[in-house]
Amino acid sequence: MAYAPSRPNAALPPLRVNLYSDTQTRPSAAMKDAMMRAEVGDEQNGDDPTINALCDRMAALCGKEAAMFLPTGTMCNQIAIATQCRPGDEMLAHEASHVTVNEGGGPGAIAGVVALGLRGARGLFDVDTMRAAFREKRRNAPPQTLLSVEQTANFGGGSVWPIGQLNAVLDAAHAWGMNTHMDGARLMNAVVASGIPAHEMAAGCDTVWLDFTKGLGAPLGAVLCGSTAFIDQAWRWKQRLGGSMRQGGICAAACLYALDHNVDRLAEDHANAAALARGLASIPGLSVETPETNLVFFDTAGTGMAAETLAGRVRQQGVMVSVMGPHRVRACTHLDVDRAGVDLAVGLIRDCLAK
């Protein structure tokens, strides 16, 4: 459970370093200016030129035929599942993936789909683990129709799927008759960290999406990509779930700005995460996982302090982090956290533990 007050608390001091999540980023003045200048129209009628430009660009980026603009990444996941599965079907995903544990039971509630969780280190699983979960195809077993992978794997520490391992599970799923889906919430973090283009990462996926509200810094928006036939069918679910918009180009403009200005700079977030991990590792009692991207996980068990206690104490000093378990803490770097902020956070965490 993440440490965060349910509503603003006047007793808390102002934030000095916000490491809670990259969803905490705020649009820059230049991004807001791009939003205000956006040419807009009625999205439901296909008349918003800015949304159309964003969807065309994202389809090309991910190597797909078509794309659809949506308010959130969770809606992307749920629409992809509902479009590619029928009630009673089973999907496979890592047991700690976002779609399995952080979307309010959406697959079952919306699409009537059962999510079967697969185990694996760092939020990833291998082809043997996946094949072991394949069910005999008989009429009293749920049809297994979709495999979902998360890039990067959040609870796995922001880990990046090695391309060989990724393609192996996607190929095996296709051979079993399943469709494949990529939860690409932090896809561009994986691209920047690995040097592998998005279209190569998503080549074996029937559907893929990118979230613009995390490290890319937009206030809202995600784009779901797939075949033309898939997007045509997905539009019905977009309507059903209230994801269809009118003059949404004012938001799509922020996403286009992010693609132009905020992708390459993700390398700064990764470098800051590495510096944060080094600093935390120097604090006695903390066990720190080596980050691959912008997420730093560390364990407080060796300090004798619970994760929630530490999070509460550092929040009193102006630093906010996420609690991911009794002793597991996550700190996330993003475009609103610079190296000075990283150094300040390390010092304040050190002081809280020392006291």
> Residues of the chain with pLDDT > 90: what percent?
92
Residue 243's pLDDT is: 85
Domain-terminating residue out of 215, 241, 261: 261
Helices (H), the chain: 29-36, 49-62, 73-84, 98-101, 106, 127-132, 163-175, 187-194, 198-201, 228-240, 249-261, 266-281, 307-316, 339-354
Report the range of poorest mean pLDDT among 8-12, 232-236, 345-349. Answer: 8-12
Q: 12 falls in which pLDDT band (50, 70, 90)?
A: confident
Are 329 and 218 in a shared domain? no
Residue 10 has pLDDT above 70, yes or no: no
Are 72 and 120 in a shared domain? yes
CATH number at residue 223: 3.40.640.10
Are 253 and 346 in a shared domain? no
State the chain's mean pLDDT as an integer.
95
pLDDT in tens, 163-174: 999 999 999 999
Are 159 and 197 in a shared domain? yes
pTM: 0.94
**Beta-strand relationship, 222-226 and 207-211:** antiparallel
Are 86 and 223 in a shared domain? yes
Residue 2 has pLDDT above 60, yes or no: no
Within-domain flag for 4: no
Are 282 and 171 in a shared domain? no
Residue 45's pLDDT is: 87
Q: What's the distance, CA 81 to chain centroid?
A: 16
Domain of residue 182: give its range. 38-261
- The count of other CB atoms within 10 Å of the CB of residue 104 is 11
Are 126 and 223 in a shared domain? yes
Residue 246 has pLDDT above 90, yes or no: no
DSSP letter (8 states) at residue 46: T
Residue 9's pLDDT is: 58
pLDDT in tens, 50-82: 999 999 999 999 999 999 999 999 999 999 999
- For the chain, the domain total comes to 2
